[in-house]
Amino acid sequence: MPNKRLFGIRGAVCAENTPESVVRAVDTLCSRLFTQNALQADDIVSIHFTVTSDITALNPATALRQSSVAGTARQTALFCSAEPSIDGALPRVIRVLLIAYLPETARPRHAYIGGAASLRPDIAGHDGA
């Protein structure tokens, strides 16, 4: 088994301000990150979400618990906070910082999807976003 090290894996997705849209967006984003990085439940240390001030319908951590990939993060520490309010910022964004163990030679695969690719065009296109 290869040695592992801790990595930060980033991503973002845009959602409408409805519970259904937030669950769908979080499910899609986390599913992509888990799959692209071949993550198992034991690999994930914590997941930190941020949301812009216009996402008020549902906390993304709660949305993850309601999603189809909830089992992968069942024992994971989840946290959510407010994104700073910046003039001209992209609206309705859910960002994630997933802390996980990967093989030490791995290159984390980030995901900027569902309208959020403009946040990181330098890496968004590399991950099929």
**Using one digit for the tens of pLDDT, what is the confidence trace for 47-87?**
999 999 999 999 999 999 999 888 888 889 999 999 999 99
pTM of the model: 0.91
C-alpha span between 16 and 56 (Å, rounded)? 10
Structure tokens at 74: 């069942």
C-alpha span between 43 and 118 (Å, rounded)? 29
Do residues 119 and 12 lie in contact, with contact meaning Cβ atoms separated by under 8 Å?
yes
Under the banding of pLDDT at 50, 70 and 90, the label for residue 1 is: low
